[in-house]
Amino acid sequence: MVILLHPRDNVVVAAANLAAGSIVDVAGESLCLAQAVPLGHKVARVAIGAGERVLRYGVPIGTMRAAVKPGDHVHSHNLDSDYIPPTRREGPDPTKGSQ
């Protein structure tokens, strides 16, 4: 129900809409989802600290703003781009200054 795209990755991708409390298998180890995770979204495979890089496809896709535990949803609320902030429906993020 989740996909590990590269052995080095510290996140996995949901292959279906998964409920909170779901137990999923990742490379022979089980992971319990702390929150509901929609199809295509990411889940922490291991504990990741604030300031640590997130790896998907074996390469960095950004840096954690807040620490997460295994099974936590990893998304815009705790992960930032190392390049350019994304477009938001509500306009620029007021916490990000004038970029």
Partner 1 sequence: MTTPGHFQGYLRPDGRKGIRNVVLVAYLVECAHHVARAIVTRTDDPSVQLIGFPGCYPNSYAFQIMQQLATHPNVGGMVLVSLGCEGFNRQGLADIVAASGRPVETLVIQQAGGTRATIDAGLAAVARVRKAAEKVDMVPMALSDLVVGTICGGSDGTSGITANPAVGVCFDRLIDAGATCIFEETGELIGCEQVMSSRAITPELGDEIEKAVAKAERYYATLGYGSFAPGNADGGLTTQEEKSLGAYSKSGHSPISGLIKPGDIPPGPGLYLMDVVPDGEVRFGFPNITDNAEIVELIASGSHIILFTTGRGSVVGSAISPVIKVCANPDTYDQLADDMDVNAGRILRGDATLDAVGGEIFDLVGKVASGEPSVSEALGHQEFILTYKQFEAVGPACLPTAARR
Give contact residues for partner 1 (rule: CB under 8 A).
3, 5, 13-17, 38-42, 56-57, 59-62, 74-76, 79-89, 92, 99
Instruction: State the CB neighbour count (10 A cutoff) for residue 95.
Output: 6
Shortest approach of partner 1 to residue 33 CB, angstroms?
14
Alpha-carbon distance of 93 to 68, in angstroms, equals 22
Q: Which CB sits closer to partner 1, 17 or 25?
A: 17
Find out whether 72 and 58 touch, Cβ atoms under 8 Å: no
Residue 29: exposure state from Cβ atoms within 10 A (0-12, 13-18, ≥19): exposed
Instruction: State the CB neighbour count (10 A cutoff) for residue 2.
Output: 21
Shortest approach of partner 1 to residue 43 CB, angstroms?
10
Q: Which CB sits closer to partner 1, 33 or 79?
A: 79
Shortest approach of partner 1 to residue 90 CB, angstroms?
9
Q: Which CB sits closer to partner 1, 19 or 84?
A: 84
